Amino acid sequence: IQEPQLQGQDTGMQCEDDRTGIGVETLKRAFLDNLFYVQGKFPALATKHDYYMALAYTVRDRLLQRWVNTAAIYTQQGSRTVAYLSAEFLMGPHLGNNLINLGIYNQVQQAMTELKLDLKELLAKEEEPGLGNGGLGRLAACYLDSLASLEIPTLGYGIRYEFGIFDQLIRNGWQVEKTDKWLRYGNPWEIARPEWAVSVKFGGRTEAHKNAQGRYRVRWIPHKVVLGIPYDTPILGYKVNTANTLRLWKAEAPESFDFEAFNRGNYYGAVDQKVTSENLTKVLYPNDETYEGKQLRLEQQYFFVSCALQDMLRIMLRQKLPLEQFHEKFAVQLNDTHPAIAVAELMRLLLDEHDMDWEPAWEITQKTFGYTNHTLLPEALEKWSLKLFSSLLPRHLEIIYEINWRFLEQVRHKFGTDEGRIGRLSLIDENDGKFVRMAHLACVGSHKINGVAALHSELLQKTTLLDFYEFFPEKFTNITNGVTPRRWIVLSNPKLTNLITSCIGDNWIKHLEDVQRIETYAEDPGFQQEWQQIKRENKVNVAEILLDRTGVKVDPDSLFDIQVKRIHQYKRQHLNILHAITLYNQIKQNPNLDITPRTLIFAGKAAPGYYIAKLIIKLINSVAEVVNKDPDIGDRLKVVFLPDYNVKNSQPIYPAADLSEQISTAGKEASGTGNMKFAMNGALTIGTLDGTNIEIRNAVGAENFFLFGLTTEDVGALRLTGYRPREYYKENPQLKQAIDQIASGYFSHGDRSLFKPLVDLLLDKDPFMLMADYQPYIDCQQQVSQTYRDRDRWLQMSILNTARMGKFSSDRAIREYCQQIWKVQPVPVQLAAEKTGDG
């Protein structure tokens, strides 16, 4: 890995500080010192985990210098700050990323080797903070990396779940969930800041009173109060000194127990309150893109949003800024609607706690927030029953009614009394019971609303948010997602990183558009040879992982065809499995068939309550069992399900892929980000015209992308004219055979009932149109197999994919957010040593 040279750092032999120095000798000394003084161990007794902790503290020391300096400069300058509010941050392991961003990966590797330790093994010891479900949470993590790398003052605000996304085991082909105890052995990356704790109220009632000027104000008398304790993690940028903060909140009881109850002799009752309060941040809800109207979830959302906004107000007061400047100090981004209650909470804080009048408070609120929508799926749209909402947040409901009343007045003013339109725009859904619509609150309370890919933003404006688009078109914009090349190329694929850097230097790591310069080598035989060699080594690595975790032996020379993402019907892992069955049948029918050998790799978690998704996992494993042990098939086809997909386990996967499966029903995948990670690492995509696939295809060239399937318009039209999935089945013998095998128990030891729900769903409703897309998909896969046989052509396509992915860096996305939405500028951070130049 090519290392950035840190300016002003003393890398020589003389007098390096043990906590900041980055020479190999200094690192070794500091590491052994931490082993002794932090872990309380000497080498002979130390476990791998002790060594990991000692190294983590050694790295943390080096971060702290930058972190403290960054905070000092932001405080001094009162810098305009982005506050990214997200219920999920799927950060992944910190150690490797910090080594890359600090520019000390190679030195640390050498230091460990000299101490007879393997850095890889120590990296593997880190328990990742899995505080997210999938795309939305991982996007937040990539954005924090880019914000720090671009030197933008930022606070990430979220929840410090004690248990993150569950660990997945596969037992007898089924998913089994295990609690994720990520904090079990301590977390060296966080620092608790109990001195900045805040109180959060719940329930109770409101009452009117008059303020000093005789104006009516509202007081909220809560039923309970919970304490929010912030835990801070430094987020270092790449090749800069900026270290921003991820501030996650833990809920605690205001006192360790209720003394009144205790004095009455009710010890258990007293402790009970503590237990209930701490339950609030106990566990992440494991649903991806389905909404569950659970009270605890609404409590979580309000809890972290209130903590965050109170924290921002504290910062303003400390910096002696008047609250009228709130929107000038902070640009607050709502990562989907999970934090949308922030609109009502900021109003409440300004009105009730800071005595502001409605109009200025509302102007500040609207200028403060931006709202990013991440899905069009109707089942994901959050709406809270009025009953639950009013019992938990009585004051917020009053505020929402007032916002709604004023908003609908404006609607009437613009469009006249169009009751249909007013009903559709109202913040309150009264169609079937009464609900607060969180997306509507977010739209009305923000000055900008963005989708996450060109198609997604277009569909938002034409469908889900059409009425809002007609009312305030100027609020709408698109910002196509991106991912950080630091984690997803440099850290995950060091060999490719070195090859690229040896050709064009390392500027591309900060400016991914520069990677385009490798295009000139796309047909260079020497470069192609090295490219192929690296891909093969990455595949051998994954083959070893697969053997170790699943017992399945795969051929690294076969085409690695990979689909890794949450298991969801709209993502159509079952379409991919239909292809597997089709290939299997082709070989069985013609045992001498000369097909391109393939390894189909799947990984991903299903929401614990999503029965069909769990059945899809069982189907993948059942097909795998039959295919992998059939001697007629041999090495020509293997199907593997890699358990427990998470950030750590995903990092070796992208670099090892030949083919990336992005096969969602058109119009359903808002953006996708895995598609970018694959293509950056030289995988070719087979995909539909959905989400960012469209933009990736435009960037890499249609000739370097395997396109198939219905378009969004086709899907809509087909639905309208009456979609009959069973017809496709009846008319297509290959498809019929595959479905009949699943139904007949061919993959389930004769059990015909096991997959019946899935088969019935496909033949009767097929909500995601697998039957219609089946044959085009099979034909396109045939093209893939043909192309793979032309080694030079494939390599050229692979190189061009990497070369043309510049646009999909999260740095580009964040620059767009900064310019279009946040209006915020970089604030460079210099270390004291750099300023004085005296080391």
The size of the interface with ligand KOT (CB under 6 A), counted in residues, is 18
Sheet strand arrangement including 637-641: 637-641, 598-603, 559-564, 659-662, 684-687, 706-707
CB of 445 to ligand KOT, least distance (A): 17
434 assigned to active site: no
Based on CB atoms, which residue is closest to ligand KOT, 24 or 87? 87
669 binds ligand KOT (CB under 6 A): yes
- What is the closest distance, in whole angstroms, from the C-beta atom of residue 679 to ligand KOT in the complex? 14
Site string for ligand KOT, 738-777 (x = CB under 6 A): ----------------------------------------
Is 656 a binding residue for ligand KOT by CB under 6 A? The answer is no
Does position 101 interact with ligand KOT (CB under 6 A)? The reply is no
Least gap, CB of 157 to ligand KOT (angstroms):
18
- Give the separation between CA 380 and CA 292, rounded to whole angstroms: 9
Is residue 444 near ligand KOT by the rule CB under 6 A?
A: no
Min dist CB 42 to ligand KOT, Å, is: 46
Least distance from C-beta 278 to ligand KOT, angstroms? 25
Measured from the CB atom, the residue of 103 and 485 that comes closer to ligand KOT is 485
Which residue, 23 or 134, has its beta carbon nearer to ligand KOT?
A: 134
* Catalytic residue, candidates 66, 396, 677, 697: 677
695 binds ligand KOT (CB under 6 A): no
Q: Least distance from C-beta 413 to ligand KOT, angstroms? A: 32
What is the distance between the terminal CA atoms of the chain, rounded to a whole angstrom? 26
Exposed, middle or buried, 713 (CB in 10 Å: 0-12/13-18/19+)?
exposed
Per the CB < 8 A criterion, the answer to whether 735 and 774 are in contact is: yes
374 is catalytic: yes
116: left (phi over 0), alpha (psi -120 to 50) or beta: left
Main-chain dihedrals φ then ψ at residue 255, nearest 5 degrees: -125, 160
* 681 token code pair: 């690492």
Q: Respond yes or no: is residue 571 known to be catalytic.
A: yes
Tell me, rounded to whole angstroms, the distance of Cα 99 from its chain centroid.
Answer: 21
Confirm if 389 and 397 have CB atoms less than 8 A apart: yes
Contact 805, 515 (CB under 8 A): yes
CB of 630 to ligand KOT, least distance (A): 35
Do 53 and 61 form a contact (C-beta atoms < 8 A)?
no
Q: Which of 252, 247, 217 has the alpha carbon at shortest distance from 233? A: 247
697 is catalytic: no
* Residue partners of 753: CB distance under 8 A and separation at least 6: none
Chain centre distance of CA 90: 5
593-621 per-residue burial string, b: 16 or more CB within 10 A, e: under 16? eeebbbbbbbbbbbbeebeebbbbbbbbb
Marked catalytic residue, from 395, 571, 605, 697: 571
* C-alpha count within 13 angstroms, C-beta hemisphere, residue 263: 3
Q: Both tokens of residue 280?
A: 């609030």
* Residue number with CB closer to ligand KOT (539 or 668): 668
Decide the pairing of beta strands 330-335 and 659-662. unpaired
> Which parts of 376-415 interact with ligand KOT (CB under 6 A)?
380
> x-or-dash pattern for ligand KOT, window 478-517, by CB under 6 A?
---x------------------------------------
- 103 lines the binding site for ligand KOT (CB under 6 A): no
User: Is residue 50 involved in binding ligand KOT (CB under 6 A)?
Assistant: no
- The pattern of x and - marking residues 130 through 159 that bind ligand KOT according to CB under 6 A reads ----xxx--x--------------------
Do 726 and 735 contact (CB within 8 A), yes or no?
A: no
Pattern 355-374, ligand KOT, x by CB under 6 A: -------------------x
Query: Which C-beta is closer to ligand KOT: that of 604 or that of 691?
Result: 691
Q: Return the DSSP state at 281.
A: T
Contact flag: residue 96 with ligand KOT (CB under 6 A): no
Given the residues 160, 396, 539, 565, the one annotated as active site: 565
Looking at 13-21, 167-175, 471-479, 670-678, which segment touches ligand KOT (CB under 6 A)?
670-678
Give the span between the Cα atoms of 53 and 186, in whole angstroms: 9
49 in active site: no
Amino acid at 137: G
Nearer to ligand KOT, 376 or 771 (CB): 376
Query: From residue 574 to residue 613, what is the string marking binding to ligand KOT with x (rule CB under 6 A)?
Result: ----------------------------------------
The reply on whether position 691 binds ligand KOT by CB under 6 A is yes
Which residues from 312-351 bind ligand KOT, rule CB under 6 A? 336
Task: State how far the Cα of 411 lies from the Cα of 440, in Å rounded to an integer.
Answer: 13
Residue 375 binding ligand KOT, by CB under 6 A: yes
Q: Between residue 463 and residue 482, which ones bind ligand KOT under the rule CB under 6 A?
A: 481
Q: Quick one: which H or E segment has residue 413?
A: helix 394-415
Least Å distance, CB 407 to ligand KOT, is: 23
Tokens linked to 282: 């106990």
For 581, the token pair is 């069955």
Phi and psi, residue 160, nearest 5°: -90, 80
19, 20, 22: which is closest to 11 by C-alpha?
22
Q: Which is nearer to ligand KOT, 96 or 691 (CB)?
A: 691
**Residue type, position 249, single letter:** W
Contact between 346 and 448 (Cβ < 8 Å): no
Smallest distance, ligand KOT to C-beta of residue 669, A: 5
Strands annotated E in 314-376 = 330-335, 369-372
From 374, 539, 574, 697, the catalytic residue: 374
Binding site for ligand KOT (CB under 6 A): 134-136, 139, 288-289, 336, 374-375, 380, 452, 481, 669-673, 691
Point out the residues that are catalytic: 374, 565-566, 571, 673, 677
